[in-house]
Amino acid sequence: MKIMVYEARQDELAELEAHGRTLGVELTLAEEVPSLDTAQLAEGCQGVSILGQGRINGALLDAWYALGVRYLSTRTVGYDHIDLEHAKKLGIRVCNAAYDPNGVADFTVMMILMCLRHYKQALWRGQVNDFSLNGLQGREMKDLTIGIIGSGRIGAQVIRNLSGFGCRILAYDLRRNPEVEGMAEYVTFEELLEQSDVISLHMPLLDSNRHMIDRETIARMKDSVVLINCSRGELMDIEALVEGVESQKIGTLGMDTSEGEEGIIHGDHRVDILPNRNWFYLHQFRNVIMTQHMAFYTDAAVASMVRCGIRGIWEMAHGQNCATELMK
Ligand code: COI
């Protein structure tokens, strides 16, 4: 069988080739992001594998279906970029990735610590031999309450990681995870907002939680709250974040994902003009750390993403159980 692999990065090539060889699958690799303009690349392929930068809407799925595509894998855990209902209507089967949560959880703790210790400013100063301490006094985790929104695989691993720091840990989720019960205290969403010094989001993006962090929820938080987002940018309303940083209600913002990041992240834009005022306005603050959606990016996760992406399609196409198939 043939699989068209979009958004293929150099660091994925060895794993892609190895899985293609092992399974006897012919892979066509392209750096292009999937869109109607690049749909034609999938001609003659039963399977398409993508990452997270394209919007996989009805029109694109129709175009792929017409070209013979019947299986789609996203080499990402999140699948909010895919119109799953439309795929189901067409009969295109879809699977995602299920890499271990450790990489993102490690990165989240790093982001919390960098925010608490004003590390962006310290790093900037070091570039010009300014080693002063003024304005860099931090806070210790043991004195803080850290609120984790979402206690699924990643949220639970963040809680596990944090449990060694001596902080009080609060958790909010619609479903309780028994694995975190002894380490975190489940509270209501409002209690978490009101009591936490640091709030970190670990939710999948759904229609129901888009902009769950907005003007009203920020207003309920403690003054100088530290807000962390290593899950999906659109969980936070970027306009409300701008206002929160300007008013200093938000003390520090650490975002590996942010609303409007498409077309910015994972690219070198040194010579580009990027018309995205909110994103770049936030980016320039000394107390706002924005990374390029890289929390996932470890050797172990990339190997697993490629494996799920290629093997998942192969399993669905060969009548085998695909553990990461969506809408089974
Ligand atoms: C995910 O796996 O959901 C990610 O956020 C990773 C990224 C390549 C989009």
Which tens digit of pLDDT belongs to each residue from 136-166? 999 999 999 999 999 999 999 999 999 999 9
Same domain, 116 and 223: yes
Same domain, 222 and 276: yes
The residue contributing the CA closest to ligand 1 atom 4 is 76
* Residues known to be catalytic: 232, 261, 293
Which is the closest atom of ligand 1 to the Cα of 99?
2
Same domain, 180 and 265: yes
Same domain, 89 and 114: no
Q: Is the CB of 76 under 6 A from ligand 1?
A: yes
DSSP state of 285: S
Q: Which of 106, 107, 64 is nearest to 87 (CA)?
A: 64
The residue contributing the CA closest to ligand 1 atom 6 is 76
Indicate the top mutation candidate among 291, 293, 307, 326 to test ligand 1's pocket, ranked by most ligand atoms within 8 A of CB. 293
Q: Is the CB of 296 under 6 A from ligand 1?
A: yes
Backbone angles phi, psi at 173, to 5 degrees: -160, 160
Same domain, 11 and 106: no
Taking the alpha carbons at both ends of the chain, their separation in whole angstroms is 22
Strands 325-326 and 93-95: antiparallel
Q: Is the CB of 77 under 6 A from ligand 1?
A: yes
Same domain, 218 and 134: yes
pLDDT digits (tens, 9 = 90+) for 81-131: 999 999 999 999 999 999 999 999 999 999 999 999 999 999 999 999 999
- Residue 292 is which amino acid? Q
pLDDT digits (tens, 9 = 90+) for 163-187: 999 999 999 999 999 999 999 999 9
- Residue 146 is which amino acid? I
CATH number at residue 161: 3.40.50.720
Same domain, 171 and 248: yes
Same domain, 253 and 236: yes
Q: What is the pTM of this model?
A: 0.97
Average pLDDT on 19-24 reads: 98
Which is the closest atom of ligand 1 to the Cα of 96?
2
Say whether pLDDT at 7 is over 90.
Answer: yes
Domain range for 245 is 102-290
Same domain, 255 and 194: yes
Ligand 1 midpoint to CA 65 (Å)? 24
pLDDT of residue 84: 98
Number of domains in the chain: 2
Q: For 94-125, b where at least 16 C-beta lie within 10 A, e where not — what string?
A: bbbbebebbbbbebbbbbbebbbbbbbbbeeb
Same domain, 163 and 306: no
With 0-12 / 13-18 / 19 or more C-beta atoms within 10 angstroms meaning exposed / middle / buried, residue 208 is exposed
Q: Is the CB of 154 under 6 A from ligand 1?
A: no
Same domain, 180 and 275: yes
Indicate the top mutation candidate among 55, 76, 305 to test ligand 1's pocket, ranked by most ligand atoms within 8 A of CB. 76
